[in-house]
Amino acid sequence: MELSDRVLKCVDCGEEFVFSAGEQLFFQDKGFTHLPRHCKPCKGKLTHKPGRVETSVICSECGASTTVPFLPHLGRPVLCRSCFQRLRESPRISDLS
């Protein structure tokens, strides 16, 4: 079966977009059975991923103010980057025996 470019209409904005022969071949290879319903700009809006959480904290080791890319749990120490690296590079007690 010869594939050719098809013009489809976006269900969100109503604009026409091209569903190319190459894209159709990709859909066939992946086993997709439905035609795309969104143009690229509208699809980009749908797949937007929220950014990372940045939380301001005080380092448990040195007391410096810093930010971490996660939401800390209560009762667990939070370290700044330099204290974390220093702790990571220091030998553990179990490693010494």
pLDDT tens digits for range 52-86: 678 889 999 999 999 888 888 888 899 998 998 99
Quote the pTM value. Answer: 0.47
Which amino acid is present at 89?
Answer: E
pLDDT at 91: 76
Q: Is residue 92's pLDDT more than 90? A: no
pLDDT at 89: 87
The alpha carbon of 26 is separated from its chain's Cα centroid by a whole number of angstroms, namely: 23
Cα–Cα nearest to 65, from 85, 77, 79: 79
Q: How crowded is residue 79: how many other Cβ atoms within 10 Å of its Cβ?
A: 19
Question: What are the residue ranges spanned by the domains of the chain?
Answer: 6-46, 55-90
pLDDT, greater one: 45 or 84: 84
pLDDT at 54: 81
